Structure 1
Amino acid sequence: MKNSKFLWLFSLMLVLSIFLAACGDKEKATETTTDKPEDKTPTTEETAAPDEEQVLNLMQTAEIPTLDTSLVTDAVGLDLLNNINEGLYRLNQENVAIPAIAEEEPTISEDGLVYTFKLRDSNWSDGSPVTANDFEYAWKRAMNPDMASEYGPFMMNGVIKNASAISEGKMDFNELGVKALDEKTLEVTLEKPIPYFLSLMSFGTFYPLKEEFVKAQGDNYAKNSESLLYNGPFTLTNWDGTGLTWKLVKNDQYWDKDTVKLTEINYDVVKENATAVNLYTNGEKDRTGLTGEYAMQYADDPEKIVQPDTSIFWFKFNQERLGKKSPLANKNIREAISKAFNKEDLTNVVLANGSVPANYMIPKDFAFDADGNDFRDVNGDMATFNPEEAKAAWEKGLSELGVTELSLEILGGDTETSKKMDEYLKNQLETNLKGLKISLKEVPFSVRLELDTKQDYDIQVAGWGPDYQDPFTFLTLWETKGGNNQMSYSNPEYDQLLKDINGSLALDPVKRWEAMARAEKIIVDEDYAIAPIYQRGLVFLVKPYVKGIISHPFGGDYSYKWAYIEGKN
């Protein structure tokens, strides 16, 4: 996220009219080294030197779980989709959503419910045209219960007409409020006026899919680079569905191909920071994240970039594992763990990458009221590190459970940084909570997502990057039937607050603000449903010849549409 603040603009009639740069990642990989350098947008119209090889060499810290737009929920997948596909809108170099496959701004009905989009002439990578039916099919597919999409209902419920009823099984998914009037005209009907609706159109779930191609692929669809079609700046090659390497190649069928300067982007999955730094310093890679000792080692390097981020990482406490009530259903046990680890030492010594302790769920420098006040100022810090209070809650919880000790598992990532962090957390918890034995389960990101969906874990280190610039993007996670609530948490007061926030309080900015603050306090400081750990910061080394990479605070992390190489030779 850029250092400048985005001002949250309220009005009495359009309280939800937020300046939204775009939507973002539902679930971030549990890793603090995801590359996200400072925006290098050229300030004037620049072109790459003609004799420069336009090849960018990058690293990812995790494999690609999926590139099916109906199923993707992670940072890696959303980042790639942002570069190989395109929706009605795209974030530009200033992080403003502008028409992309939409030829121009839509026609909007007087009641604000019906949007009519005219599509520009654009093609899929196989040369066939992108049509309005491709959008209708993709959106309805995401709402088809057989797809078991998380983001379809998550993004469309309460927004697109009939989406909520479809999710509740009261209507067929084909009744979703999206319709192709002809090949170049798409009509979208909303459930209610949504002032930030056009910003949502840049998000991956709303990208088009060619029905004929998807159905021809059958179960093989999106399983590798050959079983996908592309309509964005690049196409994907050399991905077998599970591998640790892939490549993006300039898409000659892209409608705005003349803007794209890079001919290819080469990716390798590198999970060890030492290896990543070596690949960068020997010239094999053009960008790398830095953590811990490497962030300190390169503190004065002129190629180092530090960037704040709006992603929050936390412990998820699973109250019902595989259908069986767990010890974490006890609130005192959850409170004890929430207060039993030193976040300052974790961020300053273990991570050492610009991350800061998070004693909250809604990030700092993210949401602001009409007067510019940070939402973070309402509740301040909650559930802070306090060994004495942790011990008291622990002993009370053990007594209520009728035991003197507990064994719990922490589910985390398999990267070098994740392992170091989890070892630190294990030591802190076992030291400050006598009778607690922690085991660590360190798995690839795709496996963690699978275990999360099955609720096959005790405690999970997970994170969230906002989908839009409103505290509600975090609060909606923990609704009883929320999109990320794979931990059997439920609180009637909390559920009612969520209904009121975008319902009866929607036109009262002050009361809506207060209701969101109350909801955050319930989650973090009363029910201890989650235990916030840190707000991510990012440190990188970036080669000076890499120009024009655009980093986004929401949605896919980067756009390479405007990137180029200059001054390498």
Structure 2
Amino acid sequence: MYKTLLFSMVMLSTFLAACSGESSSSNSETSSDGNEQSDDKQVLNISESSEIPTMDPSMATDVVAFQWLAATTDGLYRFGKNAEIEPGIAKSHEVSEDGTTWTFKLREAKWSNGDPVTAHDFVYSWRRAVNPEVGSEYGPYMFNGVVKNAEAVSTGEMPVEKLGVKAIDDTTLEVQLEKPIPYFKELTTFTTFLPLNQEFVEKHGENFALSADALLANGPFKFTEWKAGEGWVLEKNENYWDKENVKLDKINVKVVKEIATSVNLYESGDLDRTSLTAEFVDKYSSSPEFSTIRKPSLLYIKMNQENEILSNKNARKAIQRIINKENVANVILNNGATPIGGTMPAEFVSHPESGKDFREINGNLAPYNPEKAKEFWQKAKEELGVEEVELNLLGDDMGVAKKMTAYFKGQLEQLEGLTINVQSVPFKERLRRNSEMEYELQNYVWLPDYLDANTFMNLWVTDGANNKTGYASEEYDKLIERANNELAQKPAERFEAFLQAEKLLIKEDAVIAPIYQKGSAKLQKPYIKGTFRNPMGSGYIYKYAYIEGK
């Protein structure tokens, strides 16, 4: 997930530029290495379009939380310059010959309250993430099938103490895996794998991670203010183990839902960066402060198959094909986004033998075709015995999201007899409704969590934590299971299994309606140096950022 999920994870391209094919400008916002000293006031002023639902790493599911958890908390490893994996709390690690035991040696580090960061903090956090009494959405999703006994723990069949993680001593963490996971080091950068100070978490109870005084940091920055609905302030964490490489003293973040407002604040000097929507791109495209990138995250329409209409495959295929994706990407967005015809983004993973991009191989599995869409819709109505249909379309209440939802309504209502009721709600409420499956149609964004095709493909297994569509396919489940077990050490065959699974998911079963691969257009002040794009979950890395020449 950057669930919008972020990544999210967010996300987290997947966010490794070297593998995703993003241009270097998309990963480094400056040609500087970020280590220069500057006499300028080291304060960065930026905005977010949504409030943070929670900063609890066990409970966070959205890219906003992922962004600021990455800025305030170091895991075993973290993303650094040019989206390279660099040491966090782990100084080093060793892997057993069979690939199932990872032993991490931890550095001397402190929490922002002065407590030492120890191996016990990772054990507590990871157990908490899979504890069914806690109810983490990402915990089972990220740990099950990866860390030994995670699935049995998350379903209540085993106590949390049986999870395959233990502190050998304060500075040695041992992790037992269910099977070899080649990308496990990348996984440890993800939000759900971050450590937690048990005493602090339990002291704050239900209020943990919901206000600045109920947060603890061990990363480059720490929260000093957090005003609900308005924004938050981060300051340099003087207890950070690598504080010598942190140049910014403060980051001021305002919640600004409307891009027009954000642009005005940028022009007045109140913000140092702003995203742009289509109506602003032409105006600013010639500015040296303007840039665009294509991200490895997707927007698609989720369809709840527990709804009688959407349980019909022909109805879903009609919805897939009635929306003009070119207009969405090139007219409504006009920010580097591109139409997409599958659940795997372009320039993300390539065939291990031919080197061809996944998206290029499978092509457009759900092409825009209004005439064909109307044929599918007519078949669906005949099969369902209906002439008039009403469906609710859930989306966020922010400016560009509201415009997108309004456009989808118009496109979908080309299907004879279909009425779309738009439901624009705050981001946090949309996440809740998705989790509870309280929707019929939904605009949804997914960001990769790690650099592997599985981060997009295992979303749709039966009863998967992030499925939330009611889709259940024994054939699809077997393909994903085979890819991650029998074929785990056979890269080419594994890739072929994922290709086959995507065809089943999109072309045959029409589980989602893929719309576009996200792009981003922005204005950024030239005095901002040393910021880097993070492919996993969070959007930016601020550890090495600084102000020069303001």
TM-score category (smaller protein) = over 0.9
Mark the CA change 1:567 to 1:113 in structure 2 (over 3 Å): closer, same or farther.
same
Percent of residue pairs identical: 48
Q: Which secondary structure state, in structure 1, belongs to the residue aligned with residue 81 of structure 2?
A: coil
- The structure 1 residue matched to 2:183, chosen from 196, 204, 227, is 196
- For residue 207 of structure 1, report the CA deviation from its aligned partner: 0.8
Partner of 1:308: 294
Report if aligned partners of 1:478, 1:484 keep a CA contact under 8 Å in 2.
Answer: yes
Partner of 1:68: 56
Report if aligned partners of 1:407, 1:437 keep a CA contact under 8 Å in 2.
Answer: yes
- For residue 173 of structure 1, report the CA deviation from its aligned partner: 2.0
Report if aligned partners of 1:145, 1:167 keep a CA contact under 8 Å in 2.
Answer: yes
Partner of 1:407: 390
Partner of 2:129: 142
Counterpart residue identity of residue 380, structure 1 = G
Taking the aligned partners of 2:333 and 2:8, their CA distance within structure 1 comes to 28
- For residue 244 of structure 1, report the CA deviation from its aligned partner: 2.2
Report if aligned partners of 2:34, 2:529 keep a CA contact under 8 Å in 1.
Answer: no
Q: Per-residue CA shift, 1:507-539, capped at 9, x if unaligned?
A: 333322221111101111111110001101110
Taking the aligned partners of 2:364 and 2:88, their CA distance within structure 1 comes to 41
Partner of 1:338: 320
Scaled by the length of structure 2, what TM-score is found? 0.94
- The structure 2 residue matched to 1:82, chosen from 70, 93, 103, is 70
Taking the aligned partners of 2:193 and 2:178, their CA distance within structure 1 comes to 16
- For residue 42 of structure 1, report the CA deviation from its aligned partner: 4.6
Q: For residues 238-277 of structure 1, what are the structure 2 equivalents within 5 Å?
A: 238-240=225-227, 242-277=228-263
Residue 358 (structure 1) aligned with residue 358 (structure 2):
no
Partner of 1:557: 539
- For residue 45 of structure 1, report the CA deviation from its aligned partner: 6.6
- For residue 48 of structure 1, report the CA deviation from its aligned partner: 3.0
Scaled by the length of structure 1, what TM-score is found? 0.91
Partner of 1:48: 37
Partner of 1:501: 483
Root mean square deviation, CA, Å = 1.7
- The structure 2 residue matched to 1:102, chosen from 90, 93, 104, is 90
Residue 283 (structure 1) aligned with residue 264 (structure 2):
no
Say how many residue pairs are matched. Answer: 532
Taking the aligned partners of 2:9 and 2:64, their CA distance within structure 1 comes to 15
Taking the aligned partners of 1:45 and 1:146, their CA distance within structure 2 comes to 43
Of the structure 1 ranges 440-449 and 163-172, higher mean CA displacement relative to structure 2 is found in 163-172
Residue 372 (structure 1) aligned with residue 355 (structure 2):
yes
Residue 59 (structure 1) aligned with residue 41 (structure 2):
no
- For residue 326 of structure 1, report the CA deviation from its aligned partner: 2.8
Taking the aligned partners of 1:233 and 1:209, their CA distance within structure 2 comes to 16
Partner of 2:215: 228
- For residue 220 of structure 1, report the CA deviation from its aligned partner: 1.4
Q: Which secondary structure state, in structure 1, belongs to the residue aligned with residue 226 of structure 2?
A: coil
Partner of 2:21: none
Counterpart residue identity of residue 384, structure 1 = P
Counterpart residue identity of residue 221, structure 2 = F
- For residue 249 of structure 1, report the CA deviation from its aligned partner: 0.5
Taking the aligned partners of 1:159 and 1:326, their CA distance within structure 2 comes to 36
Q: Which secondary structure state, in structure 2, belongs to the residue aligned with residue 364 of structure 1?
A: coil
Q: Per-residue CA shift, 1:182-241, capped at 9, x if unaligned?
A: 11111111111112111111111111101111111111111211111110000012214x
Report if aligned partners of 1:25, 1:74 keep a CA contact under 8 Å in 2.
Answer: no
Taking the aligned partners of 1:319 and 1:461, their CA distance within structure 2 comes to 15
Residue 219 (structure 1) aligned with residue 206 (structure 2):
yes
Report if aligned partners of 1:317, 1:334 keep a CA contact under 8 Å in 2.
Answer: yes
Report if aligned partners of 2:11, 2:535 keep a CA contact under 8 Å in 1.
Answer: no
Partner of 2:3: none
Counterpart residue identity of residue 45, structure 2 = N
Mark the CA change 1:249 to 1:154 in structure 2 (over 3 Å): closer, same or farther.
same
Partner of 1:11: none
Structure 2, unpaired ranges of 5+: 1-6, 15-24
Partner of 1:179: 166
Taking the aligned partners of 1:206 and 1:194, their CA distance within structure 2 comes to 15
Q: Per-residue CA shift, 1:425-445, capped at 9, x if unaligned?
A: 111111x20100001000111
Mark the CA change 1:23 to 1:419 in structure 2 (over 3 Å): closer, same or farther.
closer
Partner of 1:91: 79
Report if aligned partners of 2:448, 2:536 keep a CA contact under 8 Å in 1.
Answer: yes
Structure 1, unpaired ranges of 5+: 1-20, 29-35
Q: Which secondary structure state, in structure 1, belongs to the residue aligned with residue 83 of structure 2?
A: coil
Partner of 2:366: 383
Taking the aligned partners of 1:503 and 1:225, their CA distance within structure 2 comes to 43
Q: Which secondary structure state, in structure 2, belongs to the residue aligned with residue 126 of structure 1?
A: coil
Partner of 1:8: none
- For residue 398 of structure 1, report the CA deviation from its aligned partner: 0.9
Taking the aligned partners of 1:478 and 1:452, their CA distance within structure 2 comes to 14
